[in-house]
A and B are shown apart, each in its own frame.
Chain A
Amino acid sequence: MSARALVIGLGNPDRGDDAVGLHVARRVATLGLPDVVVEDARGDTLALLDRWAGVGRVVLVDAAAPIALPGRIHRLDPLAGPLPRDLALGSTHAFGLAEAVELARTLGLLPQWMTIYAIEAACFDPGAALSPAVAAAVVPAAGRIAAELAEGQGNA
């Protein structure tokens, strides 16, 4: 991939707030950032290792399990150390995002620069729309990602 940066939104569009990563990625795509590719990931998290291979800068956006404050945006730096387990970037199947990132770390397959935005969810009901507090986080999260990518432009 020749893009400078890759933004991947993760989630299931049919499970309420689980779709927030997809919404944020879509919002980032509308900002027309130069040399930034925006993608969705709705399925196999292990396939992410291939998708970010060769890309210098990667931003992942996903929903996090509810903790205390729906819509709260957590910025995680996986290069600094293991992801916090209590944020539960989990999956009903064997490998969630946190496991995929840790596997990539062990195999030396993490990109040089990676940020994860995890947005606290409230509701994962089938067919539900984003809950109001989570929906309100979409624009600010996209803005923070855009700012971060603009800031890092000189380092690419």
Chain B
Amino acid sequence: MATKTIRVDTLTRVEGEGALELDIADGAVAGVRLSIFEPPRFFEALLRGRAGAEAPDITARICGICPVAYQMSAVHAIEDAWGITVDGPLRALRRLLYCGEWIESHALHIVLLHAPDFLGFPDAITMAAAHGEAVQRGLALKKAGNEVLRLLGGREIHPVNVRVGGFYRVPTRAELAPLAATLESAHAQAIALARWVAGFPFPEFARDYEFVALRHPDEYPLNAGRIVSNRGLDIAVAEYEAAFAERHVAHSTALQSGLRARGSYLVGPLARFNLNHDRLGPSVQALAAELGVAPGCANPFRSIVVRAIEVVYACEEALRLIAAYEPPPAPAVPVAPRAGVGTACTEAPRGILFHRYRLDAEGSILEARIVPPTSQNQSTIEDDLRIIATRDLELPEDELRDHCEQGIRNYDPCISCSTHFLRLEVRRR
């Protein structure tokens, strides 16, 4: 039996540490294992005994790239448990904060982490010599997103201004005005970015995915909606655990998620776009059409274009929210802790993020459950890699490795969240 091993000790340009192992036996792919070996962070356990009101700040610490997603899922879940409704300007401000995170996280991934794969550069630094304007555009967009986080969240990384019931402090209209100017400029930059990435060469690749995303009656989903799929799934967030199961796999310290009925599924920009294209509004829909991306797109390599389209949307939406903003009478609504169970699911940049908390009468957390998007995409990534590796088996090993890494980056995996680098190992026997 012919045996061969290809090993990549550090897969760069992903958030976190993990490894990929490919087993190749007799000229065929025999096994694919996406191993996440960052020590599990035990956030679910350390939340026990803490006050429910602390959950948004504690869980924001799970990730420096998508802290808002954690804050939002946590705060909505606690509010669900305590019967609190946050609407009007407070709800709009949370949506604006989330737009900021989408802009900064997507811009970082598109330009600095993923684009080099398509253009044949080892990294963004090398790419910057030939595509300086595009890289500067990415940096400007990231900065614009960070400014939203700084103003509404108190700081860029691990914002501290979100509280159960609303915010600690809300901005004045005058404070939002300079942000609007920044976002106007960012909007133009985002359109140019989307046109740039749409011109990349895309590998031919398509699979019959089950796309899973939130769906809201009238919004492109960020903070709220039902969980739907292209195969008929349509459930309330509280039913999440009835429809999805997590399982431990020996090769990873992150749990893998699957639909109880059908197994692996795909979350993130491509799923959101395919299931919510009609919620994007006419100008963004027209841009998608111009860029040749239509709902039903099943090529994960084109997710970079969809991600860029979402940056355009997030800029537009942020501008709309700022224009409509009237400061609320109070920064938060009254909060009364009580015993109960609360769930929430929001759209992190990488896909749906589910939280559930069980609280006692004093509002202390008895049990916490957090299912990040990268855990949900893990088995889908493995399935993609099986196809990519089978197709590219005859290619030189460095090319095979590059293609696999590009395939992983289609999902903008945040391995830090799901339990940091990726190692790629190919064993041929």
Q: Which residues of A contact B (CB under 8 A)?
A: 42-44, 46-47, 49-50, 92-95, 99, 102-103, 106-108
Contacts and interface: CB of A to CB of B under 8 A. Distances in A.
Contacts of A93: 15, 64-65, 416, 420
B214 interface: no
B157 A92 contact: no
Contact of A94 (B108, B135, B136): B108
Contact of B113 (A43, A49, A94, A102): A94
Given A44-B156, A92-B416, A106 B64 contact: no
The residue in B12, B126, B139, B143 that gathers the most chain A C-beta atoms within 10 A of its C-beta is: B139
Contacts, number: 51
A17 to B, nearest CB: 19
Contacts of A95: 112
A40 B16 CA distance: 24
B15 A94 contact: yes
Nearest to B135: A107
A50 B143 contact: yes
A47 to B, nearest CB: 7
Nearest to B108: A94
A106 B129 CA distance: 6
Contacts of B155: 43
A95 B135 CA distance: 14
Given A94-B14, A107-B132, A107-B136, 16 more contacts: A44-B142, A44-B146, A44-B157, A46-B108, A47-B143, A47-B146, A49-B139, A94-B13, A94-B15, A94-B112, A99-B125, A103-B124, A106-B128, A106-B129, A107-B128, A108-B132
Contact of B139 (A46, A94, A99, A108): A46
26 contacts: A43-B64, A43-B156, A44-B157, A46-B112, A47-B143, A47-B146, A47-B156, A49-B139, A92-B16, A92-B416, A93-B15, A93-B64, A93-B65, A94-B14, A94-B15, A94-B108, A94-B112, A95-B112, A99-B123, A99-B125, A103-B128, A106-B125, A106-B132, A107-B128, A107-B132, A107-B136
Nearest to A44: B156
A42 B157 contact: yes
Interface of B: 12-16, 64-65, 108, 112-113, 123-126, 128-129, 132, 135-136, 139, 142-143, 146, 155-157, 416, 420
Nearest to A42: B157
Contacts of A50: 143
A99 B113 CA distance: 12
Nearest to B130: A106
Contacts of A42: 157
Contacts of A99: 123, 125
A44 B108 CA distance: 11
B397 to A, nearest CB: 23
A103 B108 CA distance: 13
Q: Which 6 A-B pairs have the closest CB atoms?
A: A43-B157, A106-B128, A102-B125, A92-B420, A103-B125, A106-B129
A28 to B, nearest CB: 23
A61 to B, nearest CB: 19
Contacts of A94: 12-15, 108, 112-113
A71 B113 CA distance: 33
Contacts of A103: 124-125, 128, 135
Nearest to B416: A92
Contacts of B112: 46, 94-95
Nearest to A98: B125
B218 to A, nearest CB: 34
B35 to A, nearest CB: 18
Contacts of B128: 103, 106-107
B37 to A, nearest CB: 14
A49 B64 CA distance: 19
